[in-house]
Structures are given as structure tokens and as C-alpha cells.
Amino acid sequence: MSPRAGSLRLLLLLGLALGSQEALPPPCESEIYCHGDLLRQVQMAKLYPDDKQFVDMPLSMDPAQVLQRFSTLAQAHNHSIPRQQLQEFVHQHFQPVGQELESWPPDDWTDSPQFLQKISDAKLRTWAGELHQIWKKLGKKIKPAVLSHPQRFSLIYSKHPFIVPGGRFVEFYYWDSYWVMEGLLLSNMANTVRGMLQNFLDLVKTYGHIPNGARVYYLQRSQPPLLTLMMDRYVAHTNNITFLRENIETLALELDFWAVNRTVSVTSGGKSYILNRYYVPYGGPRPESYSKDAELADTVPEGDRETLWAELKAGAESGWDFSSRWLVGGPNPNLLSSTRTSKMVPVDLNAFLCQAEGLMSSFYSRLGDDAQAAKYRDLRAQRLAALQALLWDEQKGIWLDYDLDSGTRNPEFYPSNLAPLWAGCFSDPGTADKALTYLEDSQILTYRYGVPTSLRNTGQQWDFPNAWAPLQDLVIRGLAKSPSPQTQGVAFQLAQNWIRTNFDVYSQKSAMYEKYDISSGGQPGGGGEYEVQEGFGWTNGVALMLLDQYGDRLTSGTQLALLVPHCLVATLLLHLLHIFLPL
């Protein structure tokens, strides 16, 4: 059965299950890593400070033996095993985290890549060289045992070595890898990028899509679809058209997954538009956050728990796990139990797909397939019309997430609102300047250490006061598309602010972080479900991109600029006029 046919059949089954109020299927078949009594008892006993640790531990023997021994132990204790016996059981039947991986210094890493010479500031140039060194620490390779005994591991086997984010994330992740690859290409590591691309293409061939990350418990959810963009950057760097030709149908297959499984039809002004959303109709707590999800579900009526767990998985699929973006419109928009990700049509997801459709049209034209090129050109045109009709807010001059239940747009600020600008999915040349006005009106330019993820402080990691590297990229490269020197100047200043935050924290702590707290000087970020992580793949990638783009102007020692919006200047001038020219 083809992945597409399998997806259609699964959707029909899920629809029947939802209609009859039956429990949703688990995130994977494993009765150890995805569902079952063993997983429940170990995770609810909280043997480890991070639930992810247990589901990342390899088995010491085949699952059937482990389950049989666990069943015997559970029966001996009336299915409520004491904590000490659980610890002993896990120690006897599982191996420590990371045993299936080995460090891999990339074989195409070389000293002093060319882009370093473009950086004028000596301190920033030295720092960029140290970031280039970090790739060697983040390289991983999967041991052959995972291929020969896959049932003993939650890790999904990949043939080629790869770069991981860092910290607790010892496997590769989907959307993280795009910014990692951008950095690797600047480091002249195209062979590493090709291997990572091939791993993703192999996953599409096997599963019909790219999972959130390389673990079986991530199988039924994806992440923001950037595979086509990854291919574009690799081909632009290497001109390897043969590799593109060999894999173009796999790229199409991945986009089919989003078209078949993640679309929603919205009617407005008498016309119907097809757009995409994040949607993961699978039940049970997320295995890697099991105890948190189970305890959260205890705060809602029993009949709502499966829906909550599915919405949490959709939030994880968005990459923004978690954020006020997915809480707005819920019964209490400050509580994670209000998560309703699948009820929103996200700006960034549709911008990424719009960009992918445009790239696919270009790819097929380059390969001489005019019919397929026209197909994707039409798909992009349809999505552009839908973005304009449903997500564009003329008053604010920006795109906004669309709430399917209320039929309204979410007026809150998020950097993702600028994603179509970054993706080149707009037709009005003045759009970037409108986006600048939007940033001014939202007072975003008053933040001196980075663009905040939102203006709401919910305690979730994808909200204020955290700032994330990929979101800086969305805003900076989006504004840089403007022909206006003023708007381009703001893009540069935002890049200067972010580089200075990264550089200052690195100077203090000798580490790069996945996120930063920008509320009172740049510091490692916080909030969410786990401690802030060091590494860090996409932060390094974005820093190298900005150093490459603006290296002739960026400085390590100047004061961070306070970008005073035009409206504040106008207000100040009026105030002075009233003082000196009284009526």
C-alpha cells in the first residue's frame, strides 16, 4: 500500500473513531515506548527528572521478554509496583541513554571556512570560528545494532551521520535541521548536509512523512515542513541537479502528506479556500512528557482528555510547544489545558507550504517537467489567494492566525506573523514596509536584546520573555526583502541586537543556548517543560547566517540600539510643540 493510500485509509478510520467517541490510537505500536502499563507505571513514578530519559533508554533484550517479566512483576504487586522495585526492573532491562549513538566528528569539517574572512570585528570573527568548532561536538552516528535489532530501541535508524541540536536532544529533529544546514553550508560542509537530507528523504520513503524527530514516539506527528527548502539550499550551494532529479518525487510525496492529512476548507465571501493546520489525532499522553500530560488531563473532564492529548501533540508538531498562540480562545487562555492547536490556521505553516510549492514549480521547470511545474505554480497561486483572503489583516498590515471556531483572526503579536514575507509569499512590493510599521505599532522595536516570541507571559517557552533564533531569522530576512533603505536598516539593527545577545552570553558562559530571555538583558531562556538546553544547533546556524550577511558591519562592543518607532517620535514632537508653542 502506498503511503498516500495508507494515510487516506487511516483518516477514514480515525474519523469513525472520533465519531463514535472511541479512544484515539496511540502514537506508535510499541507497548514500551508509546503506550501500555509499563510506560504508565514508570513515568508516573517519576523515576527521572525528565520523562524523555526513560523513553530514550534502549532495551537489554527483546520487548516480548521485557513485557512478560513486567507482567509477572505487576501481578505479584497487584499491578501497583513499588518505586524501588520499578527502579530495579528498569536497571535490569534497560540501558543508559545514548548507548545506541556514537560521537562523529564530521569528515568534511575543515579549519577556517571562507565566510570568516567577511567578518570585520576581530572578536566576532574569533567567536564565529568557535561556533564553527561546535559542529564537531554535535555530530552523531547511529550504531549498527539499531539496524539489526530495531525493536530494542526508540531511536529510528538512519544510515548517514547527522548534527543534533544538543543537550537533551541527542537525536535529530525536523525543522531544527534547516537552520543547522544553513550554518553547515557556510562551514563548507555540504557532504554532511547531503547525508542529513538523505536521512529525511529515507524517512519520507518509509513513513510517507518526516516525523517530529528520530524516535518512534514521534512517528505520528511531523514538524514545520522545510524539506523542500533544505533541498533548495543544498542545490544552490552544490549545483547537484542529479541529486534533485533522483529525489524530486520524494519531495512531492512529503507535500502530499500535508495535503492529505493536514488541510482544512474555509469559506469566506462566498468562496472556499484550502489551507493547512497542525493536526495529530492520536491519543494518550506524549510518551516523552507522559507524567505532565497525565497530570494536566486530570484537570479537565474525563471525556475531554483524549482531545487535550491530541491537541498537545498538534502543538508539538507546530514546533511551538507551547505558546499562547494555541491557548487563545480557550476557556482559560493562560492554562495549557486550553490548548486548541488544531483549531487555528497558522500563518507560518501556510507560508512554509507556499514557499515549498513555489520551489517545487522551479525544480520541475529546471528538470523539464512543465506539467508538474504548472501544477505547483497553480497550488502556490491558490494559497496566495487564501493567505490574502483569510489571514491578511489590512488594518494591521500583517498576516494573522485564523481561528476556525470563531472565524476571526488572532490579533496578538507573534514573529510568525511575518513568515510570508520571509518565504517570499506576497505580491505587494510595499508589504515589508507595512510589516515595519506593524512592528513599530506593536512596540517590538523597543526590545534591545532580540525580537520576543510574543507579548504574553504565560510561563510557556514559546512566549514572552523568550526569544528564539529561527524567529529572529523570520523577521530579519523578511524585512531585508524591502527595497526601502530604512526597512533594511532596521533588519540590520535587529541582527546586531541578536548577535550581541548571543555573543555576550557566550562570553559569560562559553555556551550557546536554544532560547534567550530578553526581558532584562540577554540571558539563557526558561519556562516550559524542561531546563534550557545548551548546544545549540539552530542558534549556531542563525548566528553564522547573520555574521555572513552583515559581517562587514556587525560589532561586538557597541551599545545595543533602542529602535524608537516613528509613532513615538511623532508623539514626542507634538509634546514639545505644545510646550514651546502654547495655544
Which residues are part of the catalytic machinery? 321, 514
Q: What is the dihedral of CA 90, 91, 94, 96, to 10 degrees?
A: 120
Triad 198, 63, 219: Cα angle to 5°: 35
What are phi and psi for residue 101, nearest 5 degrees? Answer: -115, 150
Give CA–CA dist 120/339, Å, rounded. Answer: 46
Burial class (CB in 10 A: 0-12, 13-18, 19+), 148: exposed
8 Å CB contact between 557 and 123: yes
Calculate the CA 326 to chain-centre distance: 14
Lateral strand order in the sheet of 515-517: 466-468, 515-517, 523-524
What's the angle, vertex CA 378, arms to CA 373 and CA 379, rounded to 5? 100
In 189-240, where does DSSP find H-type helix? 190-207, 227-238
CB 132 within 8 A of CB 544: yes
In the block, residue with C-alpha cell 473513531: 17
Residue pair 449/400 in contact (Cβ under 8 Å)? The answer is: no
Question: What is the DSSP-derived secondary structure letter of residue 218?
Answer: G
Q: What cell does 91 get? A: 536497571
C-alpha cell at 376: 505547483
Q: Can you spell out the DSSP letters for 156-188?
A: PP-SS-EE--BTTB-S-BTTHHHHHHHHHHHTT
